[in-house]
Chains A and B, each alone.
Chain A
Amino acid sequence: MLTLKPLPANTKPSLLSSLTPFRPKTQTLTKPFKPHSNLAIQSVLQWNRKPELAGQTPRVVVITSGKGGVGKTTTTANVGLSLARLGFSVVSIDADVGLRNLDLLLGLENRVNYTLVEVMNGDCRLDQALVRDKRWSNFELLCISKPRSKLPLGFGGKALVWLVESLKSRQEGCPDFILIDCPAGIDAGFITAITSANEAVLVTTPDITSLRDADRVVGLLECDGIRDIKMIVNRVRTDMIKGEDMMSVLDVQEMLGLALLGVIPEDTEVIRSTNRGYPLVLNKPPTLAGLAFEQAAWRLVEQDSMKAVMVEEEPKKRGFFSFFGV
């Protein structure tokens, strides 16, 4: 995976990168970065390094799972906003036609006036249908259709291909990432969502129902020519894994044979943030799951994968001076 990066990876100690998912600090902001419209936003950020964007833009990523309720939409919202916070321009597409929810998770439900259906019908232009997030203005949302409207999707997935083409040639520049939130199942909605994608993120939970669906979906994606598939294992409980009541992340990986983009621990904050319409990664202080989503977003940018996973909890060792905060 490191070889895919545009810059040589010799700045990173091989030992560290092979053992852990953590990278040493590198001053990547000094490197020539793609001139883009969100320079002002970058200056607001207090990062002293940025992940290196690998691959060609726009990176069209479909987030899929097969089974419903495993966290596709949550992943789309959190990874999308994490990418936006990292300074990349993101267009997030809710391709879940009948049961769209991404707007709710992002707290943008009141701002969706036009959808792709209206764009195709000629009721509005594409730029009018894109809903810009006010928190991070380089994040935009596009819904495919309104919940109860009928779809003129006789064109199959062509509509999304046109959409990507149109976004590529837009005036303010091509977005770095186009995230497509795929509906559950492998029906027409799934076909529509994956048509324009170049790579896929498979979200799964460590249970056998989700894994069987995931394997099927990966098979279909591979048949369709999408080879770059990474998985996010969601709702992991290390305590249950320790008690052998839940498959470990490595077990999941053994069954599916996919590179790991992230491991998201079970976190009650996920439900709370969903209800608030405020994605987890914007929480202050960051929560466990929010940090994991940020790390996953970072790896997505660099086309990297996890080299190590957290397996169990250890009691924290307290030093002699720990009482004094040392």
Chain B
Amino acid sequence: MTTTSSVSTPQFHSFPIQPASLLWASKHWFSPNVVKPRRDFVLSFSLPNCNRVLLINPKFRFRAAINNDNNNSANPEDEEEEEQCIQDTGKAVVNNSESESGTTKLLDWKKDPISKFQGMITTLPPFVFVMKRGAGSNFVMKSRPSRPGSVADLVRRGQLRSDRRGISTPLKYEDPFNNPLVKVGKSNSTIEICGKVYRLAPVTLTEEQQAIHQRRRSRAYQWKRPTIFLKEGDPIPPDVDPDTVRWIPANHPFATTASDIDEDLAQSNVYQKHGVPFRIKAEHEALQRKLEALQNEQKLNKLVIDTGNAKEFERPFRFNAKANELVEQNPLNSQSGDSKPSKPDRTPNPFNSSSSSEEMQKP
């Protein structure tokens, strides 16, 4: 109890002292430490050491602003000792004589806003309790490193990368050759970069020297850039100059160059600026054609409408598109060199089984 009094009295005595101390008082009054014990109140209330406190209504309990700078890291037991419980019957009944003297002093300094506030505590504890609850929750929010769901929280959890957020800010200097980090010496013979001074040596390479090197290289390396890649063993196409062929071994990744699309088609695909990409369009059209073919076929068959089969219709449709794409993606499987329109012929027809469903589509 001596600790309690020795710590709590300076707070009350400090009120008449001018604004700085008021700030001190108010700061500690609302500091998170004030709020924190409120949380473990439920636990501490059942503890036997609370018997020393006369508790009429256990809902409200506050710790006097005893959190000096030196006891911020006090363990919960110490805090327990330092706490006081105040009842909300309209009178603060405290088992500490020092605190009683503190409350009398409080009443003397009612004109001071803080002391008014403290007076309110003594007179209107339930109201203060509500206020304190509000203030407490605010400060609990602030005392956390980041609110859940906030950007800071996302960074903390590794969902966002702090160094990659947003757009990088523009450069503060105007010139990579002349800025606070790069300065040329007055005589143009030194340069200071990032605080280090370097001596500058002029480049002596002349045009003649460059030309000599070029001639040397043209003698040393005689090369004609290949314009076509062929797998070793492949026949040379008739219109191709054998000097322009790059022979690549059969196990090289580039050797799997046999494409299912011809050159013109690939070129037009690269040039395409708008609209549906070729393959997507081709697949769609192929399926459309297949659908129409099936519809025509079933018209002839005059099958009965089966609503159950109608639902099954969509699924193999999409599955077929996927499977078809996979077949196309793997060049090993598509050595035939066919272009897209021939694709539906290669795929198995999944619609034969659900032929009766086609009747649904008919007008």
Name A residues whose Cβ lies closer than 8 Å to a Cβ of B.
Answer: 15-16, 18-23, 25, 44-49, 85, 97-98, 107, 116, 119-128, 134-136, 149-159, 162-163, 165-166, 169-171, 187-189, 191, 194-195, 215-216, 218-220, 222-224, 238, 250, 253-254, 256-260, 276-278, 282, 284-288, 291, 294-295, 297-298, 305-317
Contact of B277 among A85, A123, A169, A294 (CB under 8 A): A123
Q: Is the CB of B229 within 8 A of A188?
A: yes
Nearest CB in chain A: distance from B216 CB, A: 8
Contact of B220 among A125, A166, A219 (CB under 8 A): A219
Give the docked Cα–Cα distance between A21 and B200 (Å). 10
Q: Is the CB of B246 within 8 A of A191?
A: yes
Give the docked Cα–Cα distance between A16 and B200 (Å). 12
Interface size, B (range): 35 or more
Give the docked Cα–Cα distance between A188 and B247 (Å). 9
Q: For residue B246, which residues in chain A have a CB less than 8 angstroms away from its CB?
A: 156, 188, 191
Q: 26 A–B contact pairs at CB < 8 A?
A: A20-B188, A20-B200, A120-B269, A121-B260, A121-B266, A122-B261, A125-B273, A149-B329, A151-B256, A152-B257, A152-B260, A154-B229, A156-B227, A156-B228, A162-B266, A162-B267, A166-B273, A169-B271, A188-B248, A189-B254, A253-B205, A259-B210, A291-B194, A307-B203, A311-B199, A312-B198
Q: For residue B160, which residues in chain A have a CB less than 8 angstroms away from its CB?
A: none
Contact of B221 among A126, A194, A216, A316 (CB under 8 A): A216
Q: For residue A291, which residues in chain B have a CB less than 8 angstroms away from its CB?
A: 176, 181-182, 193-194
Is B300 interfacial (CB-CB < 8 Å)? Answer: no
Give the docked Cα–Cα distance between A39 and B165 (Å). 23
Give the docked Cα–Cα distance between A154 and B194 (Å). 49
Q: Is the CB of B194 within 8 A of A310?
A: no
Name B residues whose Cβ lies closer than 8 Å to a Cβ of A.
Answer: 163-164, 167-172, 174-178, 181-182, 184, 188-205, 209-210, 212-214, 217-218, 220-229, 246, 248, 252-254, 256-261, 263, 265-267, 269-275, 277-282, 328-332, 340
Nearest CB in chain A: distance from B227 CB, A: 5
Nearest CB in chain B: distance from A165 CB, A: 7
- A316 to chain B: closest residue by CB: B197
Nearest CB in chain B: distance from A181 CB, A: 17
Nearest CB in chain A: distance from B335 CB, A: 12
Q: For residue B218, which residues in chain A have a CB less than 8 angstroms away from its CB?
A: 219, 222-223
Nearest CB in chain A: distance from B38 CB, A: 43
Which interface residue of B189, B197, B330 has the most chain A CB atoms within 10 A?
A: B197
Give the docked Cα–Cα distance between A214 and B86 (Å). 84
Q: Is the CB of B197 within 8 A of A122?
A: no
Give the docked Cα–Cα distance between A122 and B164 (Å). 33
Q: For residue A136, which residues in chain B have a CB less than 8 angstroms away from its CB?
A: 167-168
Give the docked Cα–Cα distance between A153 and B231 (Å). 12
- A154 to chain B: closest residue by CB: B257
Contact of A46 among B174, B178, B181, B332 (CB under 8 A): B174
Q: Is the CB of A310 within 8 A of B191?
A: yes
Contact A316 to B195, CB < 8 A, known contacts A156-B228, A162-B267? yes
Q: Is the CB of B253 within 8 A of A223?
A: no
Contact of A313 among B170, B198, B266 (CB under 8 A): B198
Q: Is the CB of B229 within 8 A of A253?
A: no
Q: Is the CB of B203 within 8 A of A306?
A: yes
Q: Is the CB of A163 within 8 A of B225?
A: no
Q: Is the CB of B163 within 8 A of A276?
A: yes
Give the docked Cα–Cα distance between A159 and B254 (Å). 14
Give the docked Cα–Cα distance between A166 and B271 (Å). 5
Q: For residue A170, which residues in chain B have a CB less than 8 angstroms away from its CB?
A: 273
Q: Is the CB of A162 within 8 A of B271?
A: yes
- A21 to chain B: closest residue by CB: B177
Q: For residue B331, which residues in chain A have a CB less than 8 angstroms away from its CB?
A: 150, 152
Q: For residue A258, which residues in chain B have a CB less than 8 angstroms away from its CB?
A: 205, 210, 213
Give the docked Cα–Cα distance between A219 and B282 (Å). 45
Which interface residue of B197, B199, B269, B278 has the most chain A CB atoms within 10 A?
A: B269
